[in-house]
Amino acid sequence: MIDIQGLRFAFAGEAPLIADWSARIDPGITLLYGDTGAGKSVLLRLLAGVQAADAGRLQIGDAVLAGSPARYQAQLFFVDPGTQDFDQMTARNCLAQLAGADADMGVRDALVEGFGLAPHLDKSLYMLSTGSKRKVWLTAALAGRRPVVLLDEPTAALDQGSVRCLWEALTVIGTARQRTVLLASSEAVNTLPLAARIDLPLN
C-alpha cells in the first residue's frame, strides 16, 4: 500500500502538474490512466523517490520517503524505461540483481519463456531491442518480491504474445491482491482484474 498526502509538483515556471493530491493505493492493480503528457511518468518517478516533489508525504508500510529513503525505496520496484544504467550488464545478471535473491524462480522461468528471452540472457543489455530490455525489467519486477511495483506503459514495444504473457502474470497478481501494482497507461485496460483506477491529470 502507498499512502500519499498533499503531493505537489511543478516544473520550474510551469503550472503544477500535480496539485495537493492525496490518495491511498491499495494492494492489487491500480490503473494510472491518462493521455500523453498527462503526467503519468512524472507521478511514477515521484512515487519511486527518484524525482523530488515540491511538497507532500509518501509512505509505504512504515517507511516514509523523507525520513528513511533507503527503506522506502527497498519496498518498491521501479526502472525508468529510458535508463541506460544496466546497459553493460548481461540480461541474466541484470535480471538476477533487480529481482533479488529471494525471487520466485517459477515466475522468472515462466516469463523468460513466455517473453522469448532465453536466447538473449547472455547478451549485454545495450545489444537488446527496446522491447527485450523492457521484458528483462518486467520479469524482474514480477518475479521479485518487492511489495510495490511501478510500471510505466509496460506493453510499449512488446509483441502480442508477450503482452498476453504479461497480462497472464498480472492477472495472478491482481487476483491475489497481496502486492501493489501501479500500471501507467494511455490506453484503458479492460482485461485485468483492477482494484482501482486513477485518472490523470491531477491538477
Ligand X SMILES: Nc1ncnc2c1ncn2[C@@H]1O[C@H](COP(=O)(O)OP(=O)(O)OP(=O)(O)O)[C@@H](O)[C@H]1O
Which stretches of the chain bind ligand X, using CB under 6 A? Answer: 11, 17, 34, 36-42, 186
CB of 157 to ligand X, least distance (A): 13
DSSP secondary structure of 8-57:
EE--TTS--SEEEEEEEE-SEEEEEE--TTSSHHHHHHHHHTSS--SEEE
CB of 110 to ligand X, least distance (A): 29
Q: Which is nearer to ligand X, 46 or 94 (CB)?
A: 46
Grid coordinates belonging to 20: 495537493
CB of 142 to ligand X, least distance (A): 21
Pick from 113, 108, 115, 155: which is nearest to 132 by CA? 115
Q: Which is nearer to ligand X, 36 or 160 (CB)?
A: 36
What is the residue type of 146? R
- Other C-beta atoms lying within 10 Å of the C-beta of residue 155: 19
CB of 101 to ligand X, least distance (A): 32
Q: Which is nearer to ligand X, 52 or 105 (CB)?
A: 52
Q: Is 29 left (phi over 0), alpha (psi -120 to 50) or beta?
A: beta
Backbone angles phi, psi at 24, to 5 degrees: -125, 125
CB of 153 to ligand X, least distance (A): 6
Contact call for residues 156 and 81 (beta carbons, < 8 A): yes
d(CA 141, CA 148) in angstroms, rounded, equals: 9
Contact call for residues 4 and 25 (beta carbons, < 8 A): yes
Q: Which is nearer to ligand X, 36 or 190 (CB)?
A: 36
CB of 115 to ligand X, least distance (A): 22
Q: Which is nearer to ligand X, 14 or 102 (CB)?
A: 14
Q: Which is nearer to ligand X, 82 or 119 (CB)?
A: 82
